Structure 1
Amino acid sequence: MTQLLWDISPPIHGASPVFPGDTRYSQQWCATITPDCPVNVSAITMSPHIGAHADAPLHYDPEGAAIGAVDLEPFLGPCRVIHAIARGPLLRWQDLAHAITPDLPPRVLVRTYERAPAGWDEDLAAYAPETIERLADLGVQLIGIDTASIDPASSKALESHQAIRRRGLRVLENLVLDTVPEGDYELIALPLKLTQADASPVRAVLRALP
Structure 2
Amino acid sequence: MKIYDITQEVFTSAVYPGDEKPSYVRNSSMEKGDVCNVTVITMCAHNGTHMDAPFHFVKDGKTIEELNLYHCVGNCTLKAFDKQPSAEELREVLKHSQKKLLLKGPVVISMELARCILEYDLELIGVESQSVAPLEAPREVHVELLEKEVVLLEGLKLDEAEEGEYFLVAAPVKLGGCDGAPVRAILMEL
Flag whether TM exceeds 0.5 (same fold). yes
Give the TM-score normalised by structure 2: 0.92
Match of 1:94 among 75, 82, 88: 88
Match for residue 76 of structure 2?
Answer: 79
The one-letter code of the counterpart of 1:55 is D
Instruction: Work out whether 1:149 is the aligned partner of 2:149.
Output: no
Give the TM-score normalised by structure 1: 0.83
Match for residue 202 of structure 1?
Answer: 183
Match for residue 162 of structure 2?
Answer: 181
RMSD over equivalenced CA pairs, Å = 1.8
Match for residue 130 of structure 1?
Answer: 112
CA contact under 8 A between 2:91 and 2:116: conserved in structure 1?
no
Distance 1:34 1:148 in 2: 36
- CA shift, 1:101, in A, is 3.4
CA contact under 8 A between 1:84 and 1:95: conserved in structure 2?
no
- Aligned-pair identity in percent equals 29
- CA shift, 1:137, in A, is 2.0
Distance 1:184 1:45 in 2: 35
CA contact under 8 A between 1:84 and 1:96: conserved in structure 2?
no
Distance 2:16 2:32 in 1: 42
The one-letter code of the counterpart of 1:19 is Y
Residues 148, 35 of structure 1: alpha-carbon distance in 2 compared, 3 angstrom cutoff:
closer
Three-state SS of the structure 2 residue aligned to 1:79 is: strand
Three-state SS of the structure 1 residue aligned to 2:147 is: helix
Range with bigger deviation, 200-209 or 93-102: 93-102
Distance 1:145 1:59 in 2: 17
CA contact under 8 A between 1:7 and 1:206: conserved in structure 2?
yes
Match for residue 68 of structure 1?
Answer: 65
**Gaps spanning 5+ residues in structure 2: where?**
none
- CA shift, 1:130, in A, is 2.4
Three-state SS of the structure 2 residue aligned to 1:127 is: coil
Match for residue 9 of structure 1?
Answer: 7
Three-state SS of the structure 2 residue aligned to 1:130 is: helix
The one-letter code of the counterpart of 2:87 is W
